[in-house]
Amino acid sequence: MIKRFLYSQKVAPYVFVLPFILVFLVFWVYPLGSSLSMSFQKVTLGQDAQWIGLDNYTKLMGDKTFFKAVANSAVYMVLTLLILIPFPMLFAVLINNKFMWGREFFKSSFFFPALTSVVVAGTIFRLMFGEMEGSMINSILGIFGIEPMKFLKGQVTGYIALVALATWRWTGVNMLYFLSGLKNIPDDYYEAASIDGASAWQKFTRITMPLLKPTTIYVLTISIYAGLAMFIESMMLWNGNNSPKNIGLTIVGYLYRQGIEKNNLGYAAAVGIVLLAITMIINLSQLAFSGMFKKED
């Protein structure tokens, strides 16, 4: 009986997906549900939570620091999208080119930063962008006669450091996604195009870019998510969650500040739910716009 059940062709697929479903239920659906309910509660140390209706959300709408955090995360996301999609794509195409020398060297050196821990990288970037005259960036600026800058205390300069860190760290990863996408494009197309007299630019825009579309959409989706959920980079760069004038505060950073640092878990849950809503709206509309939900033929 059991044997027949296990060997049944109808049951087998479900057995195989069961581990994923279980993990999904325990680590995603349950926490999501409980944070949703928590966002309507006031949660205090070691005591029963009280239901307070929409209070957390109405407070959130009048919270300037929260909007500062949302703006920070949004700007960071847009900047990373502008840098971390075109450039890795370009590098991937260059590295994929048979006439390029040192391909393996470039591939591994671009990817190398992704292997370092964000904690180490963030700390080193903090020292590089330090405000002392002797810090690396300031001593380079000094060669050109520019006065030392307080990078991590200003909004724009702080973001230069933050985006530099993200670019350094993620270019290689996105490049690898594009490289694997490029490997799936048959050489025949390019040969045919060459015979027809297409220029390199035409080949790139008419063959490479359209055929890379699924990869691009994938990279775009995870980059939107990663940009909005960024936290550790900022925390390490500013040596803690409290950057001057909150210039480096992200949505997740604000969630952490309220929930963990201030023990206000109910309010933090509301922040988390808003973050989820924002991410879902952006990503779903992006996927719909790029035709991912269209019926396949």
Partner 1 sequence: MKRKWLVMMLVLTMTTLLFGCGSKSSSSSKGESSVLDAGAGENATELSYWTFVELHGQHFEKMLEKWNAANPDRQIKLNVTVMPYDDMHNKLSIAVQTGVGAPDIADIELGKFPDFLKGTPQLVPLNDVIDPYRDTIVKSRIDLYSKDGQNYGIPTHVGASVAFYNTEILKEAGVDYKSIVTWEDFKQAGIKVHEKTGKYMGTADTSATWQVSQLLAQQGTDLTDDNGNPIVNSEAMVKALKLLKDLQDNDVIATIAGGQPDTEEAYGEFNSGNYATAFMPLWQMSRYTNYMADLSGKIAIAPIPVMEKGMPRSVGGGGTGTVVTKTAKDVQLAKDFLAFAKLSLDANKEIWNTLGFDPVNMDVWDMKDVTHNPENKFVKYFINNPFDVLNEIKNEIKLIKSTPASPTINNVLCTVTLNEIFEDGKDIKKALDDAQAQIEQELK
Site for partner 1, rule CB under 8 A: 23, 27, 44-47, 59, 62-65, 117-119, 130-132, 150, 153, 214, 218, 221-222, 225-226, 229, 231-232, 235, 240-246, 260-263, 292, 296-297
The distance of closest approach from Cβ of residue 154 to partner 1 in the complex, given in angstroms and rounded to an integer, is 8
Cβ contact 148:138 at 8 Å: yes
Q: For tokens 């300031």, name the residue.
A: 138
Cβ contact 11:17 at 8 Å: no
Residues 6+ apart with CB under 8 A from 135: 127, 128, 129, 148
The distance of closest approach from Cβ of residue 297 to partner 1 in the complex, given in angstroms and rounded to an integer, is 8
Cβ contact 146:140 at 8 Å: no
Q: What is the 3-state secondary structure (H, E, C) of 137-187?
A: HHHHHHHCCCCCCCHHHCHHHHHHHHHHHHHHHHHHHHHHHHHHHHHCCCH
Q: What is the DSSP letter of 2?
A: H
CB-nearer residue toward partner 1: 124 or 229: 229
The distance of closest approach from Cβ of residue 12 to partner 1 in the complex, given in angstroms and rounded to an integer, is 17
CB-nearer residue toward partner 1: 167 or 221: 221
CB-nearer residue toward partner 1: 37 or 202: 37
Please give the torsion angle defined by the CA atoms of residues 132, 138, 144 and 145, in that order, rounded to the nearest 10 degrees: -20
CB-nearer residue toward partner 1: 5 or 112: 112
CB-nearer residue toward partner 1: 91 or 238: 238
| DSSP-assigned letters across all residues of 4-61 | HHHH-TTTHHHHHHHHHHHHHIIIIIHHHHHHHHHTTEE--TTS--EE-TTHHHHHHH
The distance of closest approach from Cβ of residue 261 to partner 1 in the complex, given in angstroms and rounded to an integer, is 7
Q: Left (φ > 0), alpha (ψ -120 to 50) or beta: where does 127 sit?
A: alpha
The distance of closest approach from Cβ of residue 103 to partner 1 in the complex, given in angstroms and rounded to an integer, is 25
The distance of closest approach from Cβ of residue 83 to partner 1 in the complex, given in angstroms and rounded to an integer, is 19
Cβ contact 67:221 at 8 Å: no
Q: Dmax of the chain from CA atoms? A: 84
CB-nearer residue toward partner 1: 134 or 197: 134
Report the alpha-carbon distance of residue 230 to residue 232 in Å, rounded: 6
CB-nearer residue toward partner 1: 160 or 222: 222
The distance of closest approach from Cβ of residue 16 to partner 1 in the complex, given in angstroms and rounded to an integer, is 12
The distance of closest approach from Cβ of residue 2 to partner 1 in the complex, given in angstroms and rounded to an integer, is 29
Here the tokens at position 115 are 């292997």
CB-nearer residue toward partner 1: 153 or 203: 153
